Structure 1
Amino acid sequence: MRNSGLGSWPHRRARMAPKREALTYDGVSTSYEEVAVRTTRLAWRLRELGVRHGDRVAYLGPNHPSFAETLFATHQLGAIFVPLNFRLTPAEINYQLADCGAHVLVHAPSHVVEHPRAVSLATYEDWLLGGSDEPLDEPVGIDDAALILYTSGTTGRPKGAILSHANLLWNTFNLMIGVDIASDEVALITAPLFHVAALTQTLLPTFIKGGHSVIASHWDVTECVSLIENHGVTWMFGVSTMYADLASSSLWQTADLSSLRVLLCGGAAVPDAVIHTYQDRGLVFCQGYGLTETAPGATFLEASDSVRRAGSAGPCVFFGDLRLADTGEIEVQGPNVTPGYWNDPVATRAAFTEDGWFRTGDLGRLDDGHLYVLDRLKDMYISGGENVYPAEVENAITSHPDVAEVAVVGVPDQRWGEVGRAFVRPRDGAVVDAAGLREFLLPRLAKYKIPVHVEVVSELPRTGSGKVLKPALRRLPL
């Protein structure tokens, strides 16, 4: 094949295991042979709409098999796939469509955006039938751009991080080295596929091995448990909040989770209490660290170290390197690292050191080669001349038995310069008292680290990838 990129994967896998289940959604399964046929038909239909090598094809909607089909079809043509965050406002989506210059938009009927070449999933199946089954073999190089993934936009306008086919392939290799993925793997995909980890840490590694991906449109604890039990799910990826929700639900004690071999977690530092809750049940809980710009795996904690090194994000991935700057900022280098940002040479230059290492903006420490993520560089605040890392404070607060989740930010203070403000979400049916929480923290944290302000909330504002929007919390009046 002249296509060295992801667009060739359905055909390569179909010739090895054509009848094996590839994707399941809403009780309907699709074999690898069927995925290969459907993506070829879709590639021809996109070609009829004028899509050529280097053009951008955007996708907008909740998790669905058509997401994977559109990705592979786009890559058959050597075009660039742009998954959009369906939780954004129309204005935000329109900005990203304009910024990337999307030639075609494939979208769920629940998300209607004005675009001259829009394909709705409401008519997708009938439209797909008109595509040719004739094989396509466009020349696609391994270093060609494959994805534009917009950063979560926690500060200013989001930037479009470019990931090449090589970035995605090396990340897949790194993940497969860290996790012994088998061809009979059953992956549960409930995190949004527009988020880099759900796509590249779960779907793509499972697909290349010929495993079975069970896709859910959204995260729901009850559905998650049902899918694990009914399909014998062996592994899944989630963010800390998802795992905390499952562990605090009424189903936790009775759910049959015996098929689960490994749980991957990333997106933010994971509280020790959440990790130990799963380990106490005999489940292997492995944390990793990375960013959209690193495709995303930069470090990974393997199963053999998951108990002894609980709380660590693990050592650097096999094909990659990591170092700490004098400031403590984590810097990454390797074949999985983005070549830069779409149409933004200024941001690209600012993201790299003079000797070519990617600046993550995160603070960390290394212990015997294992990374412990302290916080975002911009989230650290200084109280009375002392550095305070919110992640450390959050970790202590979530060890309280009545706390499900917390976010801590620094806010101005006339005496100390800055002090902590904690937004606490209690467990279902629990009550959290601010004074009692501070008393709980006294033996666990230095006094200057204990938040002065404690507020109990029912939910926390989030980005599409599940991260807490701390800028939004900082803007709230005291």
Structure 2
Amino acid sequence: MTARQLSDALDAVLREHHDRLAVGSLTHQMTYRELDDASAATAREIAARGWRRVALKAGSSPRYVVSLLAVLRAGAVPFLVDPALSSDESGRLAESCGIDAAITDGDNAEADLTIQPITRSEPAPDLLPDTEVCRFSSGSTRTPGCIEFSGSAVRNAAAAWTEVSGLHADDVILCFAGLYNGLAFNTSLIPGLLAGASLWLPRGLPSASHVQRYVATVQPSILVGFPALYDGLARRAGGRPPMTGIRIALSSAAQLSEDTARTVAEHDGVRIADYYGIAETGPLTFDPHPRPGGGQGALLPGVEVRVVSPDGPGAEHGELEVRSRSMGSRYLNYPGEMERRITADGFYRTGDEGSMTDGRLRLTGRSGKHLNIGGRKVSAEEIMDVIRTHPAVRDCVVFGATNQSDTAVIAAAVVADGALTVEEVRRFCLSRMAAFKVPERIAFTDRIPRSGAGKPLAVALSALLTETRPAGGDR
């Protein structure tokens, strides 16, 4: 491993901002000096064990930041894994990516993280020489794709974000997104550290009361979270005091409700920027002066977006293709898969649909088979493959729906032999995949409604969820 652009830049920041608060939770805070010392000690342990690829599978905490810096400073590559993945899923990723060890946590968010070696049966695939960080995406595959990022790509993403957001050392960032996720990684973790800002990392669900408690204590200038966080604040707007002092509120991954944006703006005077970014390319847009329903904003420096439509060049709406200076290099565990999604002139086919008007992007949906649930892009095909392995299931289709709270959820229509129940399907799924992939709404039917071309009919599938089915029904 010869590339150390990101590690060297972070080392310089640790020395420059020694006495400033770096990261914290309500019970544990660390200055940049303490972050420097703690990560250096862990780096020595990692280097002594000869580990070159280390997975971080833990919730957000100051100790997570220590571990990330330690892996980088040991000259190893961190693999940022969603902690919600099951042990089977994590094992498959470790085997396919050649991971040597894993840093994990338990229920105690403030306890030291545990480093454990991993035994593999297959040789590790080669990393590219300039890879410094690996992150994961569902991508176009049925299990997470491991995206290799060069240090320069990660720094380019941080630099572009810092430029448009005006991020500086006096900012206080309150981030409710997991640090493995692009929303946190590209807007809070790396840019915040490189700017010498203070990063606060709550644990637990972002309920309105939890968010309000942190806001009152930390007094952030930047608030980062998924749409569900802002939906909760909007629902409680009449029963809580207004938030003050927030100059930027960020939302991403799933589209933000216009009603939520309007309610928060009216109650708190906070306008939420619904920015656009994807795992493979980094952050792409930002609106410094957002308005409810105003779209995803203008392109970041170094970002190009074009609209591809069957109507030909000049179409206002179609699939989005993007090119940026922060793009990942490839999928380590799916050779050639990412390359097939990149055009001859270097544009990545996103699978997202939208339009560009006067330099501003407005998303309208997905053209592929991936669902956006709570900020996570989930492969419908992966879930269908699991359900279809149940011996009583003859057919199924997985699709997006909403629950009684009008929140996006995963739904499944299932054709089964015998008296299969909803609970049995869920237990079967939970034993084979992460909990967030298990369908919340399940309906049984005699046949999957399909078009003459064999494609599932969306309207008919939604109707199934409102009907009472004899074999367990929808819950």
TM-score, normalised by the number of residues in structure 1: 0.72
Paired residues of 1:109 and 1:121 also in contact (CA < 8 A): no
Deviation by residue 1:336-384 (Cα, 9 ceiling, x = unmatched): 111111143320221211222111111111222211111111259xxxx
Question: In the aligned structure 2, how far is the partner of 1:79 from the partner of 1:235?
Answer: 31
Alignment partner, residue 34 of structure 1: 34
Paired residues of 1:171 and 1:297 also in contact (CA < 8 A): yes
1:121 deviation in Å? 3.4
Alignment partner, residue 96 of structure 2: 99
Alignment partner, residue 299 of structure 2: 316
**Among residues 291, 308, 312, which one is paired with 1:325 in the alignment?**
308
Compared CA separation, residues 266 and 208, structure 1 to 2 (3 A): same
Alignment partner, residue 359 of structure 1: 349
1:123 deviation in Å? 6.2
Greater shift, 311-320 or 405-414, is seen at 405-414
TM-score, normalised by the number of residues in structure 2: 0.72
Alignment partner, residue 206 of structure 2: 220
Alignment partner, residue 229 of structure 1: 216
Alignment partner, residue 405 of structure 1: 407
Is residue 198 of structure 2 the alignment partner of residue 196 of structure 1?
A: no
Aligned amino acid, residue 28 of structure 2: V
**Among residues 59, 62, 67, which one is paired with 1:65 in the alignment?**
62
**Among residues 327, 347, 351, which one is paired with 1:337 in the alignment?**
327
Question: In the aligned structure 1, how far is the partner of 2:200 from the partner of 2:38?
Answer: 18
Compared CA separation, residues 38 and 359, structure 1 to 2 (3 A): same
Q: Which secondary structure state, in structure 1, belongs to the residue aligned with residue 220 of structure 2? A: coil
Question: In the aligned structure 1, how far is the partner of 2:411 from the partner of 2:104?
Answer: 36
Alignment partner, residue 45 of structure 2: 45
Q: Which secondary structure state, in structure 2, belongs to the residue aligned with residue 121 of structure 1? A: coil
Compared CA separation, residues 16 and 3, structure 1 to 2 (3 A): farther
Alignment partner, residue 290 of structure 1: 277
* Root-mean-square deviation over aligned CA pairs: 3.3
Aligned amino acid, residue 72 of structure 2: H
Aligned amino acid, residue 112 of structure 2: L
Alignment partner, residue 169 of structure 1: 155
Question: In the aligned structure 1, how far is the partner of 2:35 from the partner of 2:220?
Answer: 21
Alignment partner, residue 366 of structure 2: 376
1:149 deviation in Å? 1.4
Q: Which secondary structure state, in structure 2, belongs to the residue aligned with residue 356 of structure 1? A: coil
Deviation by residue 1:80-118 (Cα, 9 ceiling, x = unmatched): 11121111111111111112111121111459xxxxxxx
Is residue 244 of structure 2 the alignment partner of residue 267 of structure 1?
A: no
Compared CA separation, residues 66 and 6, structure 1 to 2 (3 A): farther
Q: Which secondary structure state, in structure 2, belongs to the residue aligned with residue 194 of structure 1? A: coil
Paired residues of 2:330 and 2:336 also in contact (CA < 8 A): no
Paired residues of 1:270 and 1:311 also in contact (CA < 8 A): no
Q: Which secondary structure state, in structure 2, belongs to the residue aligned with residue 319 of structure 1? A: coil
Is residue 248 of structure 2 the alignment partner of residue 246 of structure 1?
A: no
1:219 deviation in Å? 2.8
Aligned amino acid, residue 303 of structure 1: P
Compared CA separation, residues 422 and 73, structure 1 to 2 (3 A): farther
* 1:116-195 correspondence to structure 2 within 5 Å: 121=112, 144-152=130-138, 156-195=142-181
Aligned amino acid, residue 321 of structure 1: E
Question: In the aligned structure 1, how far is the partner of 2:90 from the partner of 2:307?
Answer: 35
Alignment partner, residue 440 of structure 1: none
Alignment partner, residue 75 of structure 1: 72
Q: Which secondary structure state, in structure 2, belongs to the residue aligned with residue 15 of structure 1? A: helix
Q: Which secondary structure state, in structure 1, belongs to the residue aligned with residue 262 of structure 2? A: helix
1:10 deviation in Å? 4.4
Q: Which secondary structure state, in structure 1, belongs to the residue aligned with residue 45 of structure 2? A: helix
Compared CA separation, residues 30 and 169, structure 1 to 2 (3 A): same
Question: In the aligned structure 1, how far is the partner of 2:305 from the partner of 2:167?
Answer: 24
Q: Percent of counterpart pairs with the same letter?
A: 20
Question: In the aligned structure 1, how far is the partner of 2:326 from the partner of 2:181?
Answer: 16
Compared CA separation, residues 280 and 66, structure 1 to 2 (3 A): same
Q: Which secondary structure state, in structure 1, belongs to the residue aligned with residue 343 of structure 2? A: coil
Aligned amino acid, residue 63 of structure 2: S
1:180 deviation in Å? 1.6
Is residue 303 of structure 2 the alignment partner of residue 303 of structure 1?
A: no
1:8 deviation in Å? 2.8
Aligned amino acid, residue 369 of structure 1: G
Aligned amino acid, residue 332 of structure 1: V
Question: In the aligned structure 2, how far is the partner of 1:324 from the partner of 1:6?
Answer: 33
1:277 deviation in Å? 1.7
1:28 deviation in Å? 2.1
Question: In the aligned structure 2, how far is the partner of 1:6 from the partner of 1:64?
Answer: 21
Alignment partner, residue 385 of structure 2: none
Question: In the aligned structure 2, how far is the partner of 1:415 from the partner of 1:322?
Answer: 33
Compared CA separation, residues 227 and 477, structure 1 to 2 (3 A): closer
Deviation by residue 1:201-234 (Cα, 9 ceiling, x = unmatched): 1122121111111111233322221111011111
